[in-house]
Structure 1
């Protein structure tokens, strides 16, 4: 009996000792595996970094390693559901649309689709590939369902199985490209080089005109841009775009104050009845309230945009400001950014506001609050000057200080650009300036 008891104790001790040894070995192995994973991750991360820095004959090596889904057909055409290989992206600029699994807020998605829809002249030059990223390390059922629904409805390409995307690539996207829930559009040129780490705003502003969507192209577009109504209204509505193209007098106005709107419209109708022709565009406010919905529905709003296009208007303005700030511009040195910030700040106030001008002209005027009504009431004073100075010039005579009695010799050299207006007004005395043509020789011999 005693021998049997001792043998059981010895066996139990040996088993316990074996468990302890196996546990120690397991812990060490797990540690070694973790170290291996870290080394693999570091190696892969560095390889990705080097890959995007190296010169390539095309984008295939970059894309194949980036997606690395062990699938010959890792992409899908969302509109046709066709399975696609990486060769479909060869010799094209690739736009990686990186978002959460829920994609984008509906109004942003609609604006992006509208802005990027007209690509006839650039057909085959670029492709958008949606790369959804889960909110955690693993995809939830809700995220997979959201992806399945959206990827069957979009007008561009998508990864077919984004949950198989390497965790190393996801980490690279978050660390290197600073993805933190906000949408990104990373641009790869035809050789697979990153030319813009976020072109999202420039696509909302200019659409396909921003091709090839590089940082240099973004700077180029801003360098040739002036503060005018075409910039504010471009791509929002075909009817309004036609008014801009026809160089018609335009009046953009915004507010959710029903009393102010009614008074403003009444004054404008009085002016129109006198024979002065112009078009009006109501853009509401940045975050349309129920009051604005009621205003559009109940009032006979002259030139009112739909709620969707009102959202488009404000989204583009915000994209313009973000684009400018990302490029390093400041309000005190950039007149367009200053005007954008001023308009967005005005929207946050309770005052109604108006911007008047025409087409591509840089001669525009902004009024707000009671000042709008007061200046319109002076129409009998400035209305007769419209034929001489134009709408904005005539209105300005009712806004600016009285003209100086003595002569003003201020001069302003303006480079010739297409659509340059015939009449400029002096920055100091506000009177029309006399025009002279200056020829400069660029010869070196």
Structure 2
């Protein structure tokens, strides 16, 4: 039999001749195919089984009643992982059947006369098609089945009739307390095997970056992986044999020195594994250090290159061992990187707790509940990448991940704690992720087109697709309707009024008495025959007082009002608009006009008025509003010719000079323009209209 082509079999200087020969023998059993197992998730299930088996002994021995014990066990298993949730690629049989076959094989080997080494090699041959991490985890899972069942029956036989019957059939000893030395040794050995397995998993989880490790360091580490795999499987067979020996053990034998000898044997093997764990841990740490140092540079270079699609970029950013690193909450399906091919990918990077629920609700609304949703479906995906403040994931972080990933209509990383630390550092340093969430946009070719599209999404929603910085500039250039930008579908009625070209006044105040007086004056304006729709939008940082004001407005039918949640959304968007404008130096005409419009204190009482899609919008504070209302007789007669905003400006901004105004303005033709009245920006009077024909020759 030839050696696998991808494995190095040259002698490693640090190994003895026997160890070198053993490694060669182990490698002869290794013939991997395309099978892939989610070893990390299966190990979690195995570890949970072992922990339950050992902890429950302590619970029962402490005198806890059976019903209380059972409730605790059931409560602990509510969120348990099932083998049906564990990814297995390339295998025709379910993982539970594979584990059962291995368990039966180990049990049958316990009663054969072969030496332990030969049994281990046979087990390795049975697992030949799996990767190294999968071999040990599958074998551990098989041990967990027999060990867990043995412990469960043994622990419950004093309090449960079914357990008593099963114990009698299996020939288990009644005096389980006499076996405590052997149980303790078994538990210690199992814990050591799990620790060593985790080290193997950490190395195999970096398989996509193994090319960044020096050949010598890689050869030494792999040799230790082979040794560790062999000794874990050998230890598992030893444990299985010890469990089998405990069956049909008579009381006098239980009390004999046999259990002490068996416990000593388990301790000896445990010491061997602990030594391997320390050595392998050092070598894996060295490989990790080399990967961290070189992988960061690889990321920097990758984002400077041009790619045919986004697959290489995504595989490099998320080089997770599982074939399905993502989850689609809308279908609860596990997804691979291929699902994102030829799509714009928005990486929503945040802390596990994301953002406040009300803000999150509005963000979902902007990305999902949007008129362009159907048109853009399949063109982009949002991928949530949670990163905690520290590298450690605590239980609260994992609960947040589980909660949001099951409810948000986006993709999410199934195991963000497995992200390479170089990737996390790159995100923090190159993409400036600190604590506030960001949206990094990758186009269809994996090129970063926007380091943070969060504000764009808040302001324009899916209208901002493909969310690039160039698209942002286009949007500002196209922004010729200030009211529409500020309102942005926040209320169907407001949107309809803008489209119909109506006069609209949005106002805010935290003073209910001022609101009553203001609306009483508005009624006088309407009685003068002037059409004006008035909407209350609360005030900055809306609190319970604003909620009470909204209720009062509705009860007294004072005017139209946004709901409290929409008031929150209105002000969140307004802050995003202001922040986005201030963050960019290359302002456009649209952004400059918006900045000027929003550059005043909105904590007091204020109002903003405009007509339909006109760019002419007026803002007034409480003092100016009072003056405007008092001057109603002066400006109301000009509304028909100058429009509402023009008429108000004619009072507040009269012509500065007594001479003739020669200001002119060239406007491109648009339908209906001839019928509109255009107000002079200089003298505030209606402008004469002329049609200009220009020869292009």
Indicate the TM-score class for this superposition, using the shorter chain for normalisation. 0.7 to 0.9
Judge conservation of contact 2:350–2:438 (CA < 8 Å) in 1: yes
User: Is 1:309 paired with 2:566?
Assistant: yes
Matches for 1:318-357 after TM superposition, within 5 Å:
318-329=575-586, 336-337=591-592, 339-340=594-595, 343=598, 345-348=600-603, 350=604, 352-357=605-610
Shift of 1:60: 0.9
Instruction: Note closer, same or farther for the CA distance 1:378–1:371 as it changes in structure 2 (3 Å cut).
Output: same
Instruction: Note closer, same or farther for the CA distance 1:341–1:381 as it changes in structure 2 (3 Å cut).
Output: closer
- Please say which of residues 321-330 and 215-224 is displaced more in the overlay: 321-330
Correspondence for 1:233 among 487, 499, 504: 487
SS at match of 1:53: coil
Q: Distance in 1 between matches of 2:404 and 2:596?
A: 34
User: Is 1:62 paired with 2:317?
Assistant: no
Shift of 1:413: 2.8
User: Is 1:389 paired with 2:642?
Assistant: yes
Deviation digits for residues 146-203 of structure 1 (CA, Å, limit 9, x no counterpart)? 1111111101111112122222211111011010011111111111111111111111
User: Is 1:40 paired with 2:291?
Assistant: yes
Judge conservation of contact 1:226–1:336 (CA < 8 Å) in 2: no
Q: Distance in 1 between matches of 2:569 and 2:290?
A: 47
Q: Distance in 2 between matches of 1:207 and 1:53?
A: 29
SS at match of 2:561: coil
Judge conservation of contact 1:282–1:301 (CA < 8 Å) in 2: no
Deviation digits for residues 78-124 of structure 1 (CA, Å, limit 9, x no counterpart)? 12211111111011110111111011122321221111122111111
Question: Hey, what does 1:401 align to over in structure 2?
Answer: 654
Shift of 1:433: 1.3
User: Is 1:201 paired with 2:455?
Assistant: yes
Instruction: Note closer, same or farther for the CA distance 1:157–1:375 as it changes in structure 2 (3 Å cut).
Output: same
Question: Hey, what does 1:80 align to over in structure 2?
Answer: 331
Q: Alpha carbon RMSD of aligned pairs, Å?
A: 2.4
Shift of 1:341: 5.8
Q: Distance in 2 between matches of 1:158 and 1:88?
A: 12
Question: Hey, what does 1:13 align to over in structure 2?
Answer: none
Q: TM-score, normalised by structure 1?
A: 0.86
Q: Distance in 1 between matches of 2:289 and 2:670?
A: 58
SS at match of 1:139: coil
Gaps of at least 5 residues in structure 2 are 1-277
Q: Distance in 1 between matches of 2:596 and 2:352?
A: 32
Question: Hey, what does 2:692 align to over in structure 1?
Answer: 438
Q: Distance in 2 between matches of 1:327 and 1:120?
A: 31
User: Is 1:107 paired with 2:364?
Assistant: no
Q: Distance in 2 between matches of 1:403 and 1:134?
A: 59
Judge conservation of contact 2:641–2:677 (CA < 8 Å) in 1: no
Question: Hey, what does 2:618 align to over in structure 1?
Answer: 365
Q: Distance in 1 between matches of 2:364 and 2:671?
A: 30
Question: Higher relative contact order by CA 8 Å / sep ≥ 6: 1 or 2?
Answer: 1
Instruction: Note closer, same or farther for the CA distance 1:100–1:345 as it changes in structure 2 (3 Å cut).
Output: farther
- Please say which of residues 195-204 and 301-310 is displaced more in the overlay: 301-310
Judge conservation of contact 1:199–1:214 (CA < 8 Å) in 2: yes
Correspondence for 1:293 among 547, 570, 589: 547
Deviation digits for residues 59-94 of structure 1 (CA, Å, limit 9, x no counterpart)? 111111111111111111112211111111011110
Deviation digits for residues 28-75 of structure 1 (CA, Å, limit 9, x no counterpart)? x96x97665443212111111122221111111111111111111111
Judge conservation of contact 1:357–1:364 (CA < 8 Å) in 2: yes
Q: Distance in 2 between matches of 1:122 and 1:180?
A: 30
User: Is 1:149 paired with 2:413?
Assistant: no
Shift of 1:358: 1.3
Instruction: Note closer, same or farther for the CA distance 1:269–1:429 as it changes in structure 2 (3 Å cut).
Output: same
Question: Hey, what does 1:14 align to over in structure 2?
Answer: none
Correspondence for 1:213 among 461, 467, 474: 467
Question: Hey, what does 2:632 align to over in structure 1?
Answer: 379
Deviation digits for residues 379-406 of structure 1 (CA, Å, limit 9, x no counterpart)? 2222222212111122222222367543
Larger-Rg structure: 2
Q: Distance in 1 between matches of 2:406 and 2:353?
A: 13
Question: Hey, what does 1:277 align to over in structure 2?
Answer: 531
Judge conservation of contact 1:250–1:280 (CA < 8 Å) in 2: yes
Q: Distance in 1 between matches of 2:341 and 2:389?
A: 30
- Please say which of residues 121-130 and 273-282 is displaced more in the overlay: 273-282
Tell me the number of residue pairs that the alignment of Structure 1 and Structure 2 aligns: 412
Question: Hey, what does 1:163 align to over in structure 2?
Answer: 417
Q: Distance in 2 between matches of 1:341 and 1:409?
A: 26
Shift of 1:442: 4.1
Matches for 1:153-192 after TM superposition, within 5 Å:
153-192=407-446
Gaps of at least 5 residues in structure 1 are 1-25
Q: Distance in 2 between matches of 1:371 and 1:214?
A: 40
SS at match of 1:137: coil
Instruction: Note closer, same or farther for the CA distance 1:265–1:329 as it changes in structure 2 (3 Å cut).
Output: farther
Q: Distance in 1 between matches of 2:443 and 2:318?
A: 16
More helix by share: 2
Q: Distance in 1 between matches of 2:412 and 2:284?
A: 33
